Amino acid sequence: MCGIIGYIGKSQAKDLLIDGLRRLEYRGYDSSGIAVRDNGELCVLKAKGKLDNLIGKLEERSFSGTCGIGHTRWATHGAPDELNAHPHLSRSGKFAIVHNGIIENYKELCDMLISQGYSLRSETDSEVIAHLIELGYDGDALKAIQKTVKLLKGSFALGILCADENALFAVKKDSPLVIGSGEDGIYIASDMQALLSKTHEFLLLESGEMAKITDKAEIFDFDLRPVKRQVYVAENDKSDADKHGYAHFMLKEIYEQPEAIERTLLSQGELSFLDGIGSIHLIGCGSAYHAALMGKYIIESLTGIRVHADIASEFRYRNPIIKPDDLLIAISQSGETADTIGAMNIAAGKCKTACIVNVPLSSLTHVAEPMYTYAGPEIAVATTKGFTTQLVNLYLIAAKLLSNKGDSRVNELMTELSSLPLLVENVLKTVSPVKLAFLLAQNDYAFFIGRGADYAAAKESALKLKEISYIHADCYPAGELKHGTISLIQKGSPVIAIATDKQLLSKTVSNIAEVKSRGAFVIAVSPFDIDACDALIKIPYAKYVAPLLASVATQLLSYHTALVRHCEIDKPRNLAKSVTVE
């Protein structure tokens, strides 16, 4: 997803902007650019592709000035090329803007500008913002920005420069943006992670606010009423932004799971939002949806409370049935996923809402009671510790609901949860899927199967393999394969079967035999010995948390498979860490 950086202070802006863009790379991008105010003129430089291309171009140009903005673009409207890269200049060059989000009414705004004699240089929705600010400018930049934001529909985090003023402007509506005050000046960025090497003190803009930053940050609402905001001091450890000797952030974060799970187990509060509820809606995107799906199986099977698991982008547009005593829990590592926020907004006011998020004070926590995971900053685009700590919170929710019912199984569940860090440690120490990864890496497709919570684990495992090794991995409920897909099974077809549930084991073993008889190569992930498979990834037995353990095992399998295929594991092509647009 797009990344924004901005700076104003006493130091030269150029290098600080590049450093900030470097720390935003993990969000995913396909072009980049910076603009610096140099003696009343806005100088802009942009480049297609990786940040090194921009740095190479910078070496050919002198870029001085102590106020600037920068951007890494993840293309939504317009090709990923230099023309569409940000920053975008207004017609006269008086304003430069960087944008994260989508302007939904940009076509009508384009038409209005063209009718007033403007011509657009790029294919982006963002460029209209720069022209609109100039159109509304009569010497007061903040006022011109305010007039402009009133015209925009959609989501936008903006960094803005004005040639006439030594000031940095920031605007936030739905998309993420923070203000950080360092020793050498004041920064804006899409997330705190990008600034932790400069400061731990942040002013967190709310949606519908803007700021004018000089040697201080003045915050206003969209009617230009001043807003007072407490400084938030982030505890994040700078070291999280370092690989500590691991080859990839993803591998580091896989191995951080025992401590991340332990922190999450020890840090939970009263969970009072669970009192007096009817049914539960769990919503999320991608891996967060897979956590929601597993949460459905876990909570329903233990507590008898109805749980609906929905993909957020589907939930928000299918006119969902929400009852007043329902509880909606949005699950999101970043707390910034546009579809998940959109789905949350559908439920707001209709039922109780909560969110399971990893990033402190992220947008979702402004609209729902947070139940944090304590995974620490997750840099790799493919989530691992973010996912398993979401599952921990879902197990804790099941335990709290059991406790509310006076069900004694809560003790057994809590005892098993207290040993979860050690169980995960055991998986990390005993599972070594390198040989299997080598075999799997030779294929361009793979099938994952499982039943019940193992089906959710299989879906997450398939996504992990897909997103970092580019192998087309599909997932099916184990009982579903024979209803069509089994026609694709041929000699050597790789099938990964997750079988951790004793009650369903014999059924899954039958499904393994079905595909085996058609030539499949079956890798089972199970605490049980399964003769029918070709290879077994053995995990520890656990009554409740075995699907989580299986997910850790397949994280390692996917990681090593991607390694064999020389893929860019931490920043897979086309992917972004946080999808802040629909």
Quickly list DSSP for 450-462. Answer: ESTHHHHHHHHHH
Binding interface with ligand AGP (CB under 6 A): 285-288, 332-334, 337, 340, 381-383, 467, 578-579
Nearest approach, Cβ of residue 307 and ligand AGP (Å): 19
User: What is the b/e burial string over 223-258, where b = at least 16 CB atoms within 10 angstroms of the residue's CB?
Assistant: eeeeeeeeeeebeeeeebbeeeeeebbbbbbbbbbb
With residue 241 as reference, give the H or E element that holds it: none
Nearer to ligand AGP, 24 or 89 (CB): 24
- What are the residues whose beta carbons fall under 8 Å from the beta carbon of 271, sequence distance 6 or more? 371, 396, 397, 400
Q: How far is CA 328 from CA 55, 267, 525, in A?
A: 45, 22, 32
Residue whose Cβ sits closest to ligand AGP:
286
Of 2, 351, 475, 567, the catalytic one is 2
Nearer to ligand AGP, 110 or 311 (CB): 311
Nearer to ligand AGP, 274 or 355 (CB): 355
Nearer to ligand AGP, 344 or 515 (CB): 344
237 in Cβ contact with 364 (< 8 Å): no
Nearest approach, Cβ of residue 68 and ligand AGP (Å): 28
91 in Cβ contact with 65 (< 8 Å): no
The pairing of beta strand 327-332 with beta strand 178-182: unpaired
For the chain, what is the radius of gyration of the CA atoms? Answer: 25
Nearest approach, Cβ of residue 42 and ligand AGP (Å): 33
Rounded Cα–Cα distance for residues 336 and 396 (Å): 23
Q: What angle do CA 246, 252, 258 make, to 5 degrees?
A: 140
Quickly list DSSP for 367-381. Answer: TSEE---------SS
- On the CB side of 44, CA atoms within 13 Å amount to 25
Nearest approach, Cβ of residue 50 and ligand AGP (Å): 20
Of 173, 212, 466, 577, the catalytic one is 577
- Per the annotation, the verdict on 577 as an active-site residue is yes
296 in Cβ contact with 406 (< 8 Å): no
Rounded Cα–Cα distance for residues 136 and 139 (Å): 9
Nearest approach, Cβ of residue 467 and ligand AGP (Å): 6
Nearest to 283 by CA among 294, 274, 270, 292: 292
Nearest approach, Cβ of residue 340 and ligand AGP (Å): 5
Tokens representing 242 are: 């370092």
User: What is the b/e burial string over 36-73, where b = at least 16 CB atoms within 10 angstroms of the residue's CB?
Assistant: bbbeeebbbbbbbebbeebbeebeeeebebbbbbbbbb
Nearer to ligand AGP, 257 or 332 (CB): 332
Nearest approach, Cβ of residue 381 and ligand AGP (Å): 5
Q: Annotated catalytic sites, by residue? A: 2, 577
